[in-house]
Amino acid sequence: MMKNELEYLLQTDLIDTVENKWGNETWTIVDKRFHEENTYGCFSCAFIPWDEIHVSLGKYSFDFYTEQSKPDYWVSKKDGEEYIEYEYFMDFDSVKPLIIHRDFFDIKPARIEVLEEFRLFHNLYYDDKSNKYIKIIEGGEEIDAIIINDGEIKVKTKLIIEFISIKNTCFVMCCDNGRYSHESISNYSSDQCDFEVKADNLIYARYIRDDVYSSHGYIAFSRFLAKKVIYPVSVKKAISFFIKKEKNYQDFIIGESTTGEVIKHK
């Protein structure tokens, strides 16, 4: 077996991404979806309160489904009385996805939106020509904040950390990735076929099995499931990420003083 084929099914590249790259690089991929002949995958994310993190890290399933993320309400009856309960995000009132996939039943084009609270907090400007959001720092400097490409959305990591630190909440990233191979699972040890890691800020598991349903001749299949939490930092550290620059404006003559001196507005 070729080494790259072995690592491909072991998904060592994704393990490295979860352990070392998620939350530690300049950009964080927060949403990604793809489906090819020999692989499929989905990355997703959400803001989750502190008191629910232990529940989130206790399971591999996603805490949210971005297609269902919209305000809605429940109707129930008790003792003959009808009650209406409104929820900001249906089923996930305390969990708020950063990226929302909106669908209009094929009548109108589907679209991707960014959580309004996050956009307004950072005062992000959407540039439809480049399909990205821009943050304008006091002083006039423009920085790329969110970049949307086909099948992938990435956010400046510092923006996420600043937001969750001020809000005192957590940010959870999820991954579900499957890969197919022509190599037999007999080439893998039992420890490689069933591999699981749990820590204070992440969980992930990999399973390798015979693929008996493939229509493309593949005989092995691996699935990788992962979650990782980015925790808030001190507010002082968070707000230092984007140091506000001194405003520089052109001087304007607005009049004269009683002694005849020119008065300028700065």
- Any idea which of 1-15, 120-134, 152-166, 200-214 has the lowest mean pLDDT? 1-15
Inform me whether the pLDDT recorded for 71 exceeds 90: no
Planar angle of CA 66, 14, 21, nearest 5 degrees: 85
165-184: buried (b, 16+ CB within 10 Å) or exposed (e) per residue?
beeebbbbbbbbbbbbbebe
Residue 249: the pLDDT is 42
pLDDT at 204: 97
Digit-coded pLDDT (tens) for 144-172 = 999 999 889 999 999 999 999 999 999 99
186: left (phi over 0), alpha (psi -120 to 50) or beta: alpha
Q: Tell me the whole-structure pTM to 2 decimals.
A: 0.82
Higher pLDDT pick, 228 / 252: 228
The 10s digit of each residue's pLDDT in 40-57 is 999 999 999 999 999 999
SS3 115: coil
Neighbours of 155 (CB within 10 A): 25
Locus of tokens 């609270």: 117
pLDDT range class, residue 247, cuts 50, 70, 90 = very low
